[in-house]
Structure 1
Amino acid sequence: MSHYTAPSQIAERQLPYFSGKKVLIAGEIEDGFPLLLAKHCLSVAVFTTHYGYYRQLQQSSAVNCYFGAELTENLDADLLVIYWPKAKLEAQYLLAMLLAKLPSPCEVIVIGENRSGVKSIEKMFKPYGSIKKYDSARRCSFYWGECRETVADFALTDWFKSYSVQYQQHELTIRSLPGVFSHGEFDLGSQLLLDTLPYLQGKVLDFGCGAGVIGCVMAMLNPKIELEMCDINALAICSSQATLAANGLSGRVFASDIYSDTATNYDVIVSNPPFHSGLETSYQVTETLLHSAPNYLTRSGQLFLVANSFLKYPPIIEQAFGHCETLSKTSKFSIYHASK
């Protein structure tokens, strides 16, 4: 984690400013900048919704790292640093949640790539105080502000969006937090995947569960399965748990950095995997998922995957399983299947 992203590079230009501060960092941070900052500050804490990043930072004693959909610990901090997330509503969520935990007045720094819409912070911050652009470089902006207003108590339940999904005479209620995939709609790829799945039995993993649409439909259509759902994002995990509860369904939902926390005896792995990491396109997670899948399946275990048709996943599945079957294909999506 020694190479810094562009937002961290612009923050590094202001390093002397951080001296003597008690800093809380949150948002779309992906590098080791908090470890550098810890050498200049009184204290550094990191709140992240990304389990992979949490696992990396946990290896260091220089910073305290917290993972979850909500920061529940009481922290002593006087400077909040937010790395602008890819979803504007998630930035709003982080501000409301974290400023409710911190004393007022509290200094706030917001850093982000210009193409991510970070300029929105100027209007978004008005209920809290004033904020202005302090520096810009590498197509990023660095904002400094101060929260002087009394911040309302934060209630996680206020941030869920609910919507209904119709599927094969069933109606499901989906509960979704800001920034979670499938936020407010039934993804067409997920629908095609569900249309293609056979009757399922045994232990089933919904990998990259998002708001829980695929897992909940599978549980409703196959009530005897032992359902597990995992995601790297704490907001997704919380959303899937809420979606299961809203529909009276049961399943185990947990955080996993690809296979870091999964079992090794699944009868079926089903996935509509992401191919974005922040603003960037990234295929690494899915490629690892596919390449290692046989190690996490039972002797006759099966893999079902939906992906954009232009993505070159069949050769990876063939290498892992010895074969790859295309069960369904549209102009946009393909459904791939392999079994041990």
Structure 2
Amino acid sequence: MGHYFAQEPASISQPQLINITFQGLNLQVRTDNEVFSKNGLDRGTAVLLKAILTAETADKIGSVWDFACGWGAVSLILAAFYPESNFYLSDINSRACSLATANMIMNNVKKFQTVQADAAAAYTGRLFDLIALNPPIRTGKIKVRQMLTAALSRLENGGKFYCVIGKKQGAASYAAFLQNLAEQDNLTYKLLLREQGYEVFCLRKE
């Protein structure tokens, strides 16, 4: 069995249809082996989404980068609240990208695109109004820090980066790293939410 952060899954594909529920929203999605959280909406992503939807008060978010999208949970749920937004999904895992595309189509999300790419190689040259990331901690600290740095370099003026990390996954260390990046790049930093063992950070480009 390979890892969900592998470029090409080594396991046999066994797709399944599952139902997920979030804040009264019910969706049916496809998942598969060797894709993150194949059995449903994981707790960290649920906390991340709760924080985003609580913090965002605008009627529309122009562009959303769902970074390390997995089967597309973040985009699918945000699209239900912000149907006019443009969603850009990326993941290193080819199976995840195929599932994310299928799930967006199945749930009638019209304005999206998906690309298989590693870190900053996705959507080169494009800036975003909102970037959301539940990083693959098991890839190691160096890789996760590269992803955090890449995300912050891709914010529009006024854009926000939301990231969730588990307390047991080293949230305190990553918080210090994000605070340092914020100071270097003149971004505002905030610990937005602590819940169920997870912490959500928000960095804004002024």
The structure with higher relative contact order (CA 8 Å, sep 6+) is 2
Q: How does 1:108-119 map to 2 (within 5 A)?
A: none
* Paired residues of 2:72 and 2:103 also in contact (CA < 8 A): yes
Q: How does 1:236-275 map to 2 (within 5 A)?
A: 236-250=96-110, 251-263=112-124, 264-275=126-137
Alignment partner of 1:334 out of 160, 176, 199: 199
Q: How does 1:106-255 map to 2 (within 5 A)?
A: 159-197=14-52, 198-199=56-57, 201-250=61-110, 251-255=112-116
Q: How does 1:53-68 map to 2 (within 5 A)?
A: none
- Three-state SS of the structure 2 residue aligned to 1:235 is helix
Per the TM alignment, residue 195 of structure 1 is displaced from its structure 2 partner at its CA by: 0.9
After superposition, the C-alpha distances for 1:164-197 in whole angstroms (9 at most, x for unaligned) are 1112332111111211012012101111111111
Structure 2 gap ranges (5+): none
Residue number in structure 2 paired with 1:303? 161
After superposition, the C-alpha distances for 1:279-311 in whole angstroms (9 at most, x for unaligned) are xxx122321122233321112111001111241
Mapped to 2, the partners of 1:339 and 1:195 lie a distance apart of 18
Amino acid at match of 1:336: F
Residue number in structure 2 paired with 1:120? none
Mapped to 2, the partners of 1:261 and 1:292 lie a distance apart of 10
Amino acid at match of 2:70: G
After superposition, the C-alpha distances for 1:65-114 in whole angstroms (9 at most, x for unaligned) are xxx67xxxxxxxxxxxxxxx5xxxx2x34xxxxxxxxxxxxxxxxxxxxx
Per the TM alignment, residue 28 of structure 1 is displaced from its structure 2 partner at its CA by: 4.9
* Paired residues of 1:293 and 1:320 also in contact (CA < 8 A): no
- Aligned alpha-carbon RMSD (Å): 2.0
Identity of aligned residues (%): 21
Per the TM alignment, residue 262 of structure 1 is displaced from its structure 2 partner at its CA by: 2.0
Amino acid at match of 1:182: S
Q: TM-score, normalised by structure 2?
A: 0.84
Mapped to 1, the partners of 2:163 and 2:17 lie a distance apart of 26
Mapped to 2, the partners of 1:300 and 1:327 lie a distance apart of 17
Mapped to 1, the partners of 2:50 and 2:122 lie a distance apart of 29
Per the TM alignment, residue 316 of structure 1 is displaced from its structure 2 partner at its CA by: 1.6
Mapped to 2, the partners of 1:210 and 1:221 lie a distance apart of 20
Mapped to 1, the partners of 2:87 and 2:2 lie a distance apart of 30
Amino acid at match of 2:174: Y
After superposition, the C-alpha distances for 1:241-300 in whole angstroms (9 at most, x for unaligned) are 1111221113111111101122431111101111123xxxx1223211222333211121
* Gap change, CA 1:262 and 1:300, over 3 Å in 2: same
Amino acid at match of 2:136: P
- Three-state SS of the structure 1 residue aligned to 2:153 is helix
Amino acid at match of 2:128: Y
May I ask how many residue pairs the two structures share in their alignment? Answer: 189
After superposition, the C-alpha distances for 1:207-250 in whole angstroms (9 at most, x for unaligned) are 11011111100111111111001000001101111111221113
- Structure with more of its chain in helix, by fraction: 2
- Three-state SS of the structure 2 residue aligned to 1:183 is coil
User: Moved runs in structure 1, 4+ residues, more than 6 A?
Assistant: none
Structure 1 gap ranges (5+): 1-26, 30-48, 51-67, 70-84, 94-158
Mapped to 2, the partners of 1:209 and 1:188 lie a distance apart of 15
Mapped to 2, the partners of 1:189 and 1:333 lie a distance apart of 6
Alignment partner of 2:142 out of 284, 294, 297: 284
Residue number in structure 2 paired with 1:293? 151
Per the TM alignment, residue 339 of structure 1 is displaced from its structure 2 partner at its CA by: 0.4
Per the TM alignment, residue 331 of structure 1 is displaced from its structure 2 partner at its CA by: 4.8
Mapped to 1, the partners of 2:181 and 2:51 lie a distance apart of 22
